[in-house]
Amino acid sequence: GDSVTQMEGPVTLSEEAFLTINCTYTATGYPSLFWYVQYPGEGLQLLLKATKADDKGSNKGFEATYRKETTSFHLEKGSVQVSDSAVYFCALTVSSNTGKLIFGQGTTLQVKP
Amino acid sequence: EAGVAQSPRYKIIEKRQSVAFWCNPISGHATLYWYQQILGQGPKLLIQFQNNGVVDDSQLPKDRFSAERLKGVDSTLKIQPAKLEDSAVYLCASSNQQGSGYTFGSGTRLTVV
C-alpha cells in the first residue's frame, strides 16, 4: 500500500546549521507530496508541497524537490533558527476522489542557540 | 478567516468509559476529516465526510468509534467504550476541495487510564 518513511529523530542542530530531513515514499499512481510542521501546542500547518515530478516546493527558507526516480522528497534549509524547532511530517496524497493524506512518523527538530 | 475549532483540548477518562469530541470546520469547507495521532506516529485518517456523507471510513474501528456530521457543518467523534490504546491526539481538518487546502485544528488530546 501507499506509505511514507522519514528519517528517525530527534535531530539536534545549532543555529545557522544546514538541515536535511529525508523522506521517501511508496505510492501507486501519481502522488502529490507535502511537508507539514507542528509547533509545540499547535495544529499541523502546511509548510510546502509539490504536485508533480521535478517540482520544487518552498516556503520560509525550506525547500523540497519531488524526485520520482528516487521516490524522495527531502526537506532542506540552509540556515536553521531556534524558531524552527518543531515536528516535521512528510505526507502524500494519491490522486483519487478522497484526498486522504498518508503521513510519515514525523521527525523532531531541536535547534539550539 | 477563523480556523478549525475543536473541543475539548484535553480529556482524561477511564477505560470502558465513553467520550465525544467536537469539531467546527472552516465556514464553507465541504470536506471534513478526523485523524488519530498516536504519540510518536504520524496522523492516520479515521473518517472523511463530504458535506454530511461519508467518503472513507475504512480505518474507523466501527465496533467502538462512531462519527457524524449533521447538516454538513459540525462533526462529533465518539468512542464507546474506550480502550487504553485509544490514547492519542484526535485531529479534525477541513478543506474546500478534496485533497487540497487542508486546515487542521489544534486537536483533542485523549488519555485513557
- Tens-digit pLDDT profile for residues B37-64: 999 899 999 999 988 899 999 999 999 9
Nearest to B31 by CA among B59, B6, B54: B54
The pLDDT score that the predictor gives to residue B109 is: 96
Q: Are B74 and B94 in contact (CB under 8 A)?
A: no
Q: What is the DSSP letter of B71?
A: G
Q: What is the DSSP letter of B39?
A: T
Flag whether residue B44 sits within 8 Å of chain A, measured between CB atoms: yes
Indicate the average pLDDT of chain A: 93
Chain A positions touching B102 (Cβ under 8 A) are 46, 101
pLDDT < 50 regions, chain B: none
Residue A15 Cα, gap to closest chain B Cα (Å): 25
Q: Are B24 and B108 in contact (CB under 8 A)?
A: no
Q: Are A86 and A38 in contact (CB under 8 A)?
A: yes
Q: Are B70 and B96 in contact (CB under 8 A)?
A: no
